[in-house]
Chain A
Amino acid sequence: MLRLIVEKEIKEILSSTKFAITFAVCSLLLLLTFYVGARNYQFSQKRYEAAVRENLRQLDGMTDWNQVNNFRIFLPPKPLASLVSGISNDIGRTTDVRGGSDNSAYDSFFGNDPVYAVFRFLDLDFVFQVLLSLFAILFAFDAVTGEKERGTLRLNFSNPLPRKTFILGKLLGFMAGFIVPLIIPLLLGCFLMQFMGIAFSGAEQLRLLLIMVTGILYLSVFLLLAIFFSTKNTQSSTAFLYSVGVWVLAVMIFPRLSVAASEMFVTVPPLEQINAKKARLSAQLWEEDRVAMTNFKNTPTTDMQAIMKEFGSFMDTQAQNRENKMQDLNNRLFEERDNMQGIQQTTAFTLGSLSPSTSFSLAAAQLAGTSLALETHFRDAMKAYKNVFNEFFYEKTGRRMSGGMRIQISTGDDEKKKPINPAEMPVFVYNEPQLAEMLPGVLIKIAVLIAMGALLFGAAYYSFTKYDLR
């Protein structure tokens, strides 16, 4: 009999206008998301390639590695990031490779094109989190009340039909009727991206699959929520209002409240404060350097080259000392900030995870590599690259990038020098964290969604056993 009810539900859903509209709109939204994602990725890829080319072209004609003082590295675009953008459009994607403790990045996508910041991009996170979850509610809010209002509930229960079979059939039928058709546009979207020339690696395919599974679990929560309220009310309009009320709380209010609450509990030192401290120390060190430079006394000699070399060495030592002090302060300040920020984020995410929307959003961003960790990873990657580049630079020039002021004597025979070979430079490669690294965090969020779904499933099941069938 369960099979009969499930079959009936699916048949009824598939033949309804509501399904036709929901399916059409959801398919359109998903396909549009994949299309927009693909176009954004292509655009970002072109821009990235142009920036890399331009970066290397500036080295053309240089004959001395000392002349390299404006080299930059860029965060490469990733196909998954175009589908779940997370913070990838908000953070800087470019950084200068120079000495000093500055590890900041600039050229964020939204910073360069503020119009996109206003309208944001259509991505799977937004589509699932806001739009499809609302459609899930629209789809199921009258699952039981509709039958009551139409009078079919009485007719069903004039037959030897156990309540638990009916509600189980309804829950399974609705889940199948809503979720299975969603898989079609999702798969079509993947094919569309391939058709547009965007290839996902094996690991990316697995991540995308997990994003979709998480999204489907998330939608199930709202579908079950709507069915639950449908078993708690006798009128569809009331069930709808309750469902939408919870949706607003879960999707719109709770995530923001959790951030506000975490800000109340944990104070993170603002960047302005850190920069002011750094600026004070920097000014102090420069002053000390100036005094030291004034007091510099070279070994008495008439050999100008020897004097220059000694002065260069002196300046390098000064710069290295200055750099070390700046680095120490920077590390200390950022360590403190990172720690406090970490506590604040953990608090916000833990509180936020009580909302299915936050759980889904965080899991999707983690899988796409666009969570808050992206900024840290990029910063770590640039730090690591800068160290490698500094070594390379030292090898080529005999000085550090942070060498500060330097006097160079040109002998006028530059034309005879060979141009530098940019291919010798270390290549910056940004490696996303491995799936295995992020999986525990993602699985916890998936478990939260499953638990919420199971709870609502059970609640709807139980509630219907008490439902007024008249």
Chain B
Amino acid sequence: MQIDIFPASEDALIVYVKDTDGICANQLIGQIAQYLLYPERDEHHAELSCWLRDVTPSYHSILVRYNPLITDHFAVKSLLQEVSTIAQCGKSEAMRHHKIPVYFGMPDELDWLRVSHVTGLSQSDYLDAFLSCTFRVFALGFAPGFGFLGTLPDALRVPRLDSPRKHVPAGALAIAESQTAIYPSSSPGGWNLIGRTAVPLFCATSPQPNRFRVGDSVSFTAIDLLTYEAQCAEVERD
């Protein structure tokens, strides 16, 4: 795999992994992130933690922020080159599978008209194909708990809205291009909404705040309105 490292700011470098297989590249990114965040697992790099401010792993890139009063971009770059090589041999963490129940009704709040128009599929044909997919969590970001899930088959892809909604409700399941995601909290958003789930994705007070981890797999099941409402009530009670 080809590794390119570029500056990103006065205190950050960004590492790009080039590979024809997006999943291989994303696995390596995950391993580099683990290596940087938990250097104590490797005795040679235990000193890493003192200058590392943060890492932002994404599909095939990882942004690394360092403390420029302790180190500089030359030292960080050479270390990242080394870590990228070592991480290629590393083992992946055990992945989990998540089955997320989704209610696909509420036509007024969702974009089914647009989705059917663009794909030429009826809602039930689209759902048959969508529910048979298993997605990978490629990145966590944009907002706490927001997982970028891929990859949607070509036939199911719909471009982003021309103008983003000011308010997307929490729990909205959305699609854009080759990606799908659930909005963990209400926010503005430009993706096409296709359903709602009651499953919480982020809890600040939990030791594992995010439900998803990069590398996990996710699939969706359809539920009816009564089940959805019952699940919402249950989440509220907790």
Co-complex (A, B): no
